[in-house]
Structure 1
């Protein structure tokens, strides 16, 4: 295989609305839940609900974006306003869109977050027009509005893979409802918003063997964030763009980061029974990414 020099951006060269319609949630029915969810429910004796959603985006025609919303058992908007931490996580994929994330991490991460002792509602959100920040940022705002209007959730943790760093830091830098941001193998293009994120925390994960976006991107983001808040950079030696060699470790780090942002304690029991549960096998990750739309366009595992 020919070598490829990793870049710094997967954003579309044109921000014009492309031809065609956004993807339908019906295209993703096979990745609504992780294949081994029973390994979690058999221990916790409860199961988060997973709802297929189509969220209105009020910025023109074709104004809807699909996703999956994972809700804690017995969650109500009344509980959120009175006793819940009112925090939700929004998980964003790369330049091809999709709903499973790098190495299908999002598929299991969302279930785990919703199953924690004080469950964290989690939205796996697609894009209408992937790699076009103007539209993707509007998609994120629409997701936040949806969660706030329907469930009273007004604190958000944003997670992005690859191109997903652009909408994550654009929204995170501009909106104080965002209480933390994390990225996996982020680009640096269109990420200036990270400078406005402190003192809210950031977690940056990247593989040094990434042949799609150089790990220097995350090093640059770490520097752009500055020293006025909580920042963490974790480089995985020799690993790929999708962190295929450290998927479980990365998922665990994201889970605990999001929980900390929400003020949810993860004790040893929860870590063992929930965070470390293997809901997606290593041999299943690539196929689930393909079915979830995460390998469309310029996105790659390598």
Structure 2
């Protein structure tokens, strides 16, 4: 979090407003405004693994590659993983967006989650790196097509696992961004570069689903 920025957010209440597909529509009421989320719960209680997903500078809930976050959240729920897709209160404001991720993670902890992964795309990559160093529950951070601005804390993530994914044809943020982050990170770390894939990762959708899903299962479930 940037020096001098507000660093406290408190959960005041939780409001559920039905379902959207397989997800529950949940609003987290905080002392700093409301956070719109989608919650994916496992069919059986007792799962201790969870994921917070965030998008780019404009916010949103679906993720890149045509709804990556929704797809993987639905795939992982039957395996005992609770997912929370988070829409920022104030998009493109790194300190506030980081607070959103931390509050989302804290909410999942109230549901029994003890092992948490954070996944962010583009601007969201910096958000999850920043949030990752501030939560003891976080065991892994995945940054997709990440920017470097605001991600200086990447060197402090260890011993948490770090996954960096980038397309070699990214027209918004070059893959040198993820290579820069990889060089400054400590182990355990992994860098995947997809030839011909652009910023939104649409061209490498199948590989992305496979590789990110595999990393999440290994990081959270040990499989």
TM-score bin (small chain) = 0.7 to 0.9
In structure 2, C-alpha distance between the alignment counterparts of 1:112 and 1:263, rounded to whole Å: 14
Residue 74 of structure 1 deviates from its aligned partner by 2.7
**Contact kept in structure 1, 2:126 and 2:143, CA below 8 Å:** no
Residue 210 (structure 1) aligns with:
170
Residue 203 of structure 1 deviates from its aligned partner by 0.8
Give TM-score scaled by structure 2 length.
Answer: 0.87
1:157 correspondence with 2:123: no
Residue 248 (structure 1) aligns with:
206
Residue 69 (structure 1) aligns with:
39
1:125 correspondence with 2:83: no
Task: Give the length in aligned residue pairs.
Answer: 208
**CA deviation string 1:81-105 (max 9, x = no partner):** xxx4x22011110011001101111
Structure 1 runs not aligned, ≥5 long = 1-14, 17-24, 34-48, 266-302
Residue 171 of structure 1 deviates from its aligned partner by 1.0
Higher RCO structure, 1 or 2 (CA under 8 Å, sep 6+) = 1
Residue 176 of structure 1 deviates from its aligned partner by 2.2
Residue 52 (structure 1) aligns with:
25
Name the structure where strand makes up a greater proportion of residues: 2
1:100 correspondence with 2:66: no
**Contact kept in structure 1, 2:129 and 2:143, CA below 8 Å:** no
**Contact kept in structure 2, 1:161 and 1:185, CA below 8 Å:** yes
Structure 2 runs not aligned, ≥5 long = 7-15
Give 4+ residue runs of structure 1 displaced > 3 Å after superposition: none
In structure 1, C-alpha distance between the alignment counterparts of 2:30 and 2:100, rounded to whole Å: 6
Structure with larger Rg = 1
Residue 76 (structure 2) aligns with:
113
Q: Secondary structure at the match of 2:81?
A: coil
In structure 2, C-alpha distance between the alignment counterparts of 1:125 and 1:88, rounded to whole Å: 13
CA gap of 1:57–1:141, structure 2 versus 1, over 3 A, is farther
Residue 139 (structure 1) aligns with:
100
Give TM-score scaled by structure 1 length.
Answer: 0.65
**Contact kept in structure 2, 1:53 and 1:69, CA below 8 Å:** yes
**Contact kept in structure 2, 1:157 and 1:178, CA below 8 Å:** yes
